[in-house]
Amino acid sequence: MTDVLVRERDDRPFGEVGEKFEQLLLAFDFLDLELATVGEGEGDHAILVFQRLGGQGANLGAAAWLRTVAIQYARWFHRKGYTFEFGHIQYPEKPEDEPELRLLASERVTEELAAFRQLRALGRLVCFVEASNVLGFLRGEQGLHRFRGALHEGDPAASMSRLVRVIVAPGEPGVSPHDWFHRLLEQAREQRRRRECSWPVALELDDERGIDEVVRLYTLTDERRGVEDPRTGIELPDVREVLDGHLDRLVLGHVRSTLAERRNRTQE
């Protein structure tokens, strides 16, 4: 069979086998790191909050980028077999009203996000994830996702640098998304009474370590294309593949780096 393939100069099967083998190695790496971090206090429940940033003129582009970042994580969770649920925090138009949490249908969350038409109203998304040691893998995802370029042809904000902040916090077993939101809302009410602050500020999570550190740089311009984690130096050339949820190399790279730093501190 191999001789036939060589004689016909058809390299596609070899490429497919190599790709499958690489995916298998990544799966083993995840299992190895899961076993290596057992008992280190990481949890099987995590909460991610996606928040768009940017000036008034970049609101529409920043909202589109917020949606894109959320979709890539949803696709990655789906590929990993994680249990997850997305919700959209809807802020009121009137100051006297309160925010609401609207959960998206889990079985078609990427379609719901992609079809979200009121981009200007898309201010914050929250995701509840459950999987073995998922908090340990996701801690390194907290920070800023910076994008420069055109998300699609005719993108009106192509020249702007968009920012999305991802906040990662531990979840609690048995606590539903609505229970979590009502607890957070009660804290927000108290802050609002004391400080008279707006709802978006009051709804920040309290675990904010590293939220201003750039964890991912996405470039899709005529001069350069690629995705980079500036903390580890890992670079991937295919932006579209990463946006489609192929995050294993980036996530594993930072987990390995963190474990190496821990070992070095222990040896010192």
My answer on whether 50 and 168 are in the same domain is: yes
| pLDDT single digits (tens) 87-105 | 988 877 777 788 888 898 7
Beta pairing partners, 167: 49
Q: Does residue 206 register a pLDDT over 70?
A: no
pLDDT of residue 86: 93
My answer on whether 45 and 32 are in the same domain is: no
How many Å apart are CA 266 and CA 138, to the nearest integer? 23
Q: Does residue 56 register a pLDDT over 50?
A: no
Three-state DSSP at 16 gives helix
The number of folded domains in the chain is: 2
pLDDT of residue 34: 59
My answer on whether 31 and 54 are in the same domain is: no
Q: Does residue 3 register a pLDDT over 80?
A: no
Range of the domain at 58: 41-267
Question: Where residue 46 sits, what CATH number does that domain have?
Answer: 3.30.70.1660
| pLDDT single digits (tens) 117-169 | 555 556 688 999 999 889 988 989 999 999 887 766 656 555 556 789 999 98
Q: How far is CA 48 from CA 18, 206, 210, in A?
A: 33, 12, 14
Q: Does residue 42 register a pLDDT over 70?
A: no
Question: Where is average pLDDT lowest: 144-158, 169-183, 193-207?
Answer: 193-207
Rounded to an integer, the average pLDDT of 62-69 is 83
Q: Does residue 237 register a pLDDT over 90?
A: yes
Angle at 46 between CA 136 and CA 92, to 5 degrees: 145
Nearest to 192, CA basis, from 261, 97, 63: 97
My answer on whether 97 and 213 are in the same domain is: yes
pLDDT of residue 251: 93
Q: Does residue 21 register a pLDDT over 90?
A: no
CB 109 within 8 A of CB 195: no
pLDDT category at 1 given cuts 50, 70, 90 is: very low
My answer on whether 108 and 148 are in the same domain is: yes
pLDDT category at 227 given cuts 50, 70, 90 is: very high
My answer on whether 28 and 112 are in the same domain is: no
Q: Which run of H or of E encompasses 257?
A: helix 248-267
My answer on whether 4 and 80 are in the same domain is: no
pLDDT of residue 19: 59
How many Å apart are CA 71 and CA 167, to the nearest integer? 16
pLDDT of residue 197: 62
pLDDT of residue 143: 93
Alpha helices, DSSP H, located in 120-165: 134-138
My answer on whether 55 and 9 are in the same domain is: no
Q: Can you give the pTM of this predicted structure? A: 0.80
pLDDT of residue 93: 76
Q: Does residue 211 register a pLDDT over 70?
A: yes
